[in-house]
A and B are shown apart, each in its own frame.
Chain A
Amino acid sequence: MMRTFRGGLLIGLAIAVLVAAAAVTYELYDTRTLKRTVRRGEVYCGVNKGLPGFSIPDDKGNWTGFDVDFCRAVAAAIFDDPSKAKFVPLDANERFKELQSRKVDILSRNSTWDMSREQNFDLYFPAVAYYDGQGFMVPRSRNVDSALSLDNSKVCVQAATTTELNLADYFRANNMKYEEVKFPQLDQVLKAYDEGKCDTFTADVSQLYALRLNLSKPNDQVILPDVISKEPLAPVVRQRDDDWMMIVKWTLYAMVNAEELGVTSKNIDEALKSKKPDVMRLVGNEGSYGEDLGLSKDWAVRIIRHVGNYGEVYDRNVGEESKLHIPRGMNQLWNAGGIMYAPPIR
């Protein structure tokens, strides 16, 4: 009798130890994204399958876009080589699950940061990379320059979306009347607008600029400066890996700070000789900011040299040098008309 009891106890204990060990390993594994990335020699990035300006592959499989460049910046910070980023196209529905199941290290996929997403999926959005929001497109000939002048308009909108709800809220709040012209698919909405069935077309501002390219006369359309909803697009990482989160967050902030300080991919070698304290800290000539991230002294130099500062990445993909021509708007630096603001590297 005694023997069996002892045996049972031992087996039970062994199982408990094994389970505990497995749990600890799992936890440790989860907090070692940087180590895994370095061992693998590549950052795995979850991206949109095809969104002009943000992430889109060409026929040879070369990816371009704002979200893609952000991932390249992280790869550059770690490996001094922006090509060490592998892009994994993910659906809108599966994206958060795939990040959670560690299929990717970062999600850089035009994802709106909100509270429920952080809570329900155990995720963390380190910093806003792009301030998007809902806006309006109108024919240039109408000479409208404010959304408040849209009273009694026929509005083209995609049915059963947050866009439709925001539209209703905005018009109600401003005591304006409107008539919805809605369709289930976005291309149907666009077609209706192109055929002149509405006075205005509402969608997220970045979408309006992209969709405008598909209209028969893009230059006869203007996008109003008003933004009526908050769609802060941000990269996403898993909770509980603070070291990795810090790398992703400060990669973005290094790019924003670089723009503010006037450091670009073109003058980076000049910046390395600068005697301005802010610039010296950014390029690693003062302090040990890179080492403290688990990276090298010149982490930010690598980002700026290979990928560029925030403004360069914006202009190239969605701004003046791109087909989209989206004005900087809210994404301009805080001291130049916008709200893009990075805490200092100090």
Chain B
Amino acid sequence: MTKWRHLILSLIGASGLALSTSASLAQQPQDPGDQPGLVADDSFQADPEWQKQMVYYRTTEPPGTIIISTAERHLYLVQPGGRAMRYGIGVGRDGFQWQGLLNITKKAEWPDWTPPPEMIQRQPYLPRFMAGGPGNPLGARAMYLGTTVYRIHGTNQPWTIGTKISSGCFRLVNADVSDLYDRVPVGTKVVVRQKPEL
């Protein structure tokens, strides 16, 4: 079962990569999605839409499940009683979005960043390795999704919350990702939903 999921996920991912490789040739060399070294301004105030808040949320998933709506750019942590804690997120660019069911397999504070080979190929100016810290694009916390290269992580660019800018990861502002990190254990179920296709 899990193997199948991974296969489907990687297939979706791969087609996204194939799409993007051809697209990236025409792109500007500097990718606004990642600015390693930039230190986030923590006083940045996001629109109310992207601020953490408790909302009404009806679902058949049990409390503790994470549901990510790519189209809405919201991450929901399901709570008991028909509600959820909602966080604003930044999601993958078109062609870098995926959907499926995964688990959190690992958690890390101020994670180091090793951009995967696919990213290096697309964005050769990126560092091969960057130690964790305030200038790291992964921000304050990271939660690893299954065996994929995707993560739920923080950011050093809080103004990118609410946009489609990443390579498939989900980014939250550092305060929110730390809050989420403290609420979810390894093994948490993560459902990623995409908008319907025509």
B83 contact set on A, CB distance < 8 A: 146, 225-226
Give the segment of B18-26, B105-113, B189-197 that binds chain A.
B189-197
Interface assignment of A325: CB less than 8 Å from any CB of chain B: yes
Interface assignment of A336: CB less than 8 Å from any CB of chain B: yes
Interface members, chain A 4-52 (any B CB < 8 Å): none
Chain A residue at minimum C-beta to C-beta distance from B197: A262
Interface assignment of A242: CB less than 8 Å from any CB of chain B: no
Cα A263 to Cα B57 with chains together (Å): 23
Cα A278 to Cα B67 with chains together (Å): 26
Chain A residue at minimum C-beta to C-beta distance from B162: A320
Interface assignment of A313: CB less than 8 Å from any CB of chain B: no
Given A325-B48, A336-B69, A337-B84; A225-B56 close (CB under 8 Å): yes
Cα A332 to Cα B49 with chains together (Å): 15
Are the C-beta atoms of A329 and B195 separated by less than 8 Å? no
- Nearest-neighbour CB distance to chain B for A76, whole angstroms, equals 21
**Number of residues on chain B facing chain A (CB within 8 A):** 24
A276 contact set on B, CB distance < 8 A: 198
Cα A227 to Cα B197 with chains together (Å): 33
B interface: dominant SS = mixed
Chain B residue at minimum C-beta to C-beta distance from A319: B49
Interface assignment of A345: CB less than 8 Å from any CB of chain B: no
Chain A residue at minimum C-beta to C-beta distance from B82: A225
Given A327-B86, A337-B76; A260-B53 close (CB under 8 Å): no
Cα A260 to Cα B48 with chains together (Å): 25
Interface assignment of A88: CB less than 8 Å from any CB of chain B: no
Are the C-beta atoms of A263 and B193 separated by less than 8 Å? no
Cα A221 to Cα B198 with chains together (Å): 40
Interface assignment of A330: CB less than 8 Å from any CB of chain B: yes
Given A222-B53, A327-B86; A337-B58 close (CB under 8 Å): yes
B76 contact set on A, CB distance < 8 A: 337
Given A224-B54, A337-B76; A325-B49 close (CB under 8 Å): yes
Are the C-beta atoms of A262 and B196 separated by less than 8 Å? yes
Cα A190 to Cα B28 with chains together (Å): 51
Interface assignment of B55: CB less than 8 Å from any CB of chain A: yes
Are the C-beta atoms of A225 and B55 separated by less than 8 Å? yes
Interface assignment of A267: CB less than 8 Å from any CB of chain B: yes
A279 contact set on B, CB distance < 8 A: 198
Interface members, chain B 70-97 (any A CB < 8 Å): 72, 76, 81, 83-84, 86
Interface assignment of A246: CB less than 8 Å from any CB of chain B: no
Interface assignment of A83: CB less than 8 Å from any CB of chain B: no
B195 contact set on A, CB distance < 8 A: 262
Are the C-beta atoms of A329 and B56 separated by less than 8 Å? yes
Cα A339 to Cα B72 with chains together (Å): 17
B81 contact set on A, CB distance < 8 A: 146
Cα A131 to Cα B67 with chains together (Å): 23
- Chain B 33-56, CB-CB to A under 8 Å as 1, else 0, gives 000000000000101110001111
Interface assignment of B59: CB less than 8 Å from any CB of chain A: yes
Contact of A261 among B56, B69, B196 (CB under 8 A): B196
A146 contact set on B, CB distance < 8 A: 54, 81, 83
Interface assignment of A338: CB less than 8 Å from any CB of chain B: yes
Interface assignment of A219: CB less than 8 Å from any CB of chain B: yes
Q: A227-B56, A337-B56, A339-B58 are in contact. List 15 more A-B contacts (CB 8 A).
A: A261-B196, A262-B196, A262-B197, A270-B198, A274-B198, A276-B198, A279-B198, A320-B47, A325-B48, A327-B53, A327-B55, A336-B69, A336-B72, A337-B57, A337-B59
